[in-house]
Structure 1
């Protein structure tokens, strides 16, 4: 059994956490960085951040994203997490969050996805939005999202957590880039004209067997509503969505464990299919 990383600093306050706000941020960054680098899940970072300080958790996320960018990764959009009630129930976290989507986390339909890059992967079915316009207006609404969306794609997200046993509070998952792992995008674009995404049905299969069912209305009522929420949050945090960004709008149903190599196939009513090929080795 792997032992969780617990690299708490020496200087603490009366609560046992690092003594200053900056020290708590540093400690959370260090713990998550070590977990990612070693492939060993870590203890929850709420030990440093508390369970409710979302702004502190987003500061940790920002610091980690800047480090990834400095190492050569490129941000290509954003992902929304914790949208479906089934997923919220799985973790006991009942509000959405968001993270940065990077180019090296993005794969195409049937492209091999290396299993070794993950710690504790799970799969979920989503709809990805590709923007043709900026979404930078405060108070963005669903009409703004519909106007800004160039097309949507069926998508599978492989979510992952650096936190041992997925023992999450909202601050743990926010700090950990909304538990991001990888995304697999379909290759056939679909326009939104005349489509009600709240009524789109979803079936996720693993090696041909159905393992998860859902629908668009499970994603905050509609994936369009979820993207509007994200747009407002990112404008408020001065990180607006831009033309060309890919937005993973959130799960349409329960996530399922990825226990080894296999093929996950997502079928969306009226929006085609996409397959994630999870492999031990990439050629």
Structure 2
């Protein structure tokens, strides 16, 4: 009877806890299967697809690393340059909107922000035509430059909102002390806004690292392919030859490591940026 009364009294909390547990299982089970299958041999995977490996083998990881290594280097180059460009140009633009007064400042800002309302798929054809005319097809810069340009509206909106919260008196005091506008930007604004800067770095890095559609259209030469393209091709060819997913799953685990490293290095700043009020969720 006591147990029944407790259940009746805490019915809502129990239901919420059960829903949370179910969602956690649904979220982590695919990751569990990904890691487990990455250690299985082909015969082990076929005979025991859902159980633990009979022998924990690293052969899949050795083979996967040989296959994806050059494409991982391509992705690192594209993603790092892309992230640096987004953060640099976005922070410069946001600082200009906060620090300087110029004609039609608000109109220009809202015109930039309006671009956020336009789905990227709408401009895909015209963007490809522009890249083709500039001779950037089959070049990493054909991936990097459009990605930077397409991310500037969001970066400007995000950073301007954060920069607006910095005390004007602090910026004026730095100017009175003889700091140039760039010194105010670099030595005052960026350190104060570090959490939101890291939030933008992480979101930009993840977006660039996982991008598949645009690189697959622009990068025709296999040697220039980024990691998502290589993973799709590797999975298709490997399964066609062996009927298993061990090595491709190992490649997926390896490809996720840079994202995990970036997030672990900046997790505190990322969480601070999300909870600082700079992002209205």
TM range (shorter): under 0.3
The two structures have a TM-score, normalised by structure 1, of 0.21
Structure ranking higher on relative contact order (CA contacts 8 Å, 6+ apart): 2
Q: Which has the higher helix share?
A: 2
Q: Which has the higher strand share?
A: 1
The two structures have a TM-score, normalised by structure 2, of 0.21
Larger Rg: 2
